[in-house]
Amino acid sequence: MKIIVIQDHLRSGGTERQSVYLARAFFRLGHDTTLLTFRPGGILEHLDESTLFEPTHIHLQSFDTGLDWLALGLTHTVRKHKPDIILCHGRMANCYAGLLQSALPTSVVIGTLRTGKTLPYLFRKSLKSVKAVVANSEDTKERLIKSFNLPREKITVIYNSLIFKPADATPHNLEFRTQVGAGADTLILVCVAMFRPEKRQRDLIEIVSKLPKHLDWKLIFVGDGSERHSCERLVEQKKLKEHVVFSGFHSDPTALYALSDIAIHASERESLSNFLIEAQAHGLPAVVYPAQGITESMIEGQTGWVIKRGDEDAFRTKILELFSDSSLVKKERSEAARNFARNRFDSEKQVERYVQLFNSLLSS
């Protein structure tokens, strides 16, 4: 079948990674696949993949205007490809999904919801116009039903694919730990997320700033974005520079998961956290604030703990409890997290579910 995956720009976010991964997966299964972006470039445009396994990638803007919403010629370009399936990812792409369905009535346009943010009017309107909607968590599906009055039968839940497979390195790999100035007994916390206001990395800095002074610890932030400088200033104000590491964007953060002990997350707007899925797959327990889809990315009370938002004392207490557990308890919990994440979010299973959905929609 002919498939077009649409994304506005290949920035470093989780939705963008899923777009690239799915386009490649469909292509490798033998489908005529095109990845269409509004803007050229982006940090994910050139990753280490052989061109033999790359789908066609086209973009609408001849140069990067910096405008995520500018999609001149979208309908004309898509119509030329005569796609069977049009899969829209991200807020901007989904805003155009309804227009595409109207312009190409014989194609199946599928909208997706992968965010906990407020949806623009055109996004909400498109969800009612397209032939199907994919939600990436059960929480997100219920939101679509209750908040946007979408019929339940129109929505299919397909979890995010696990992109970064568990590493062979142990969580206490000394070579990796030395690179971030940590020893064998250092508590290493990790947070992988773009620096955006809703990700609330500042909350995590406030929490760790009051860890016991005798404790040897590090917090590694993985990612970049508009809020990074603000967080760096806060770290300086709190005199935490020796404890907090800003490692920037990593095309593959596997090594950082391998050296870490606990994943921490304070985001307030999610649909399903790619970070927590990856952390669980690498055997890390998680301490988090509540958000949509959070509990679906862990075994709550066994491999992950949701703390009432704003309760910094409880957050710190849980971190210290997990770190002080016996080696046997840590090992059992780590194995449970790995098995859970690798089974529930297995990438081949998720791709298969998409292909099954495509075939079902085309046959009907």
In this predicted structure, what is the pLDDT of residue 49? 54
More confident residue, 252 or 73: 73
pLDDT at 169 exceeding the cut of 50:
no
User: Between residues 252 and 358, which one has the greater pLDDT?
Assistant: 358
Statement: residue 183 has pLDDT above 90: no
pLDDT at position 117 is 86
Q: Where are the alpha helices (DSSP H) in the chain?
A: 14-28, 74-81, 91-95, 97-103, 121-129, 138-148, 174-179, 201-208, 228-237, 254-259, 274-281, 312-324, 327-344, 347-363
The secondary structure of 273-312, three-state, reads CHHHHHHHHCCCCEEECCCCCHHHHCCECCCEEECCCCCH
Residues carrying CATH 3.40.50.2000, the chain: 2-160+346-363, 174-344
At residue 175 the predicted structure's pLDDT band, cuts being 50, 70 and 90, is low
* CA-based end-to-end distance of the chain: 15
Which range, of 52-61, 150-159, 183-192, 277-286, averages the lowest pLDDT?
52-61
Does residue 52 surpass a pLDDT of 50? no
Does residue 20 have a pLDDT over 70? yes
Evaluate whether the domain defined by 174-344 bears CATH number 1.10.490.10. Answer: no
Residue bearing the bigger pLDDT, 170 or 266: 266
Task: Please state, as a whole number, how many other Cβ atoms lie within 10 Å of the Cβ of residue 9.
Answer: 24
Average pLDDT over residues 16-22: 93
pLDDT in tens, 138-163: 999 999 999 999 999 999 999 999 88
Task: Determine the topology of domain 2-160+346-363 in CATH.
Answer: Rossmann fold (3.40.50)
Position 171 pLDDT exceeds 60: no
Q: Is the pLDDT of residue 199 over 90?
A: yes
* 51 pLDDT above the threshold of 90: no
The percent of residues in the chain predicted with pLDDT above 70, rounded, is 95
The rounded radius of gyration (Å) of the Cα atoms in the chain is: 21
pLDDT for 177 equals 78
Residue 231: DSSP 8-state = H
209 versus 49: the higher-pLDDT residue is 209
Per-residue pLDDT, 164: 77
Quote the mean pLDDT of the chain. 92
For the entire predicted model, the pTM comes to 0.87
Phi/psi zone of residue 62: left (φ > 0), alpha (ψ -120 to 50 degrees), beta? alpha
Would you state the structure tokens that stand for residue 257, as one six-digit string? 């998961």
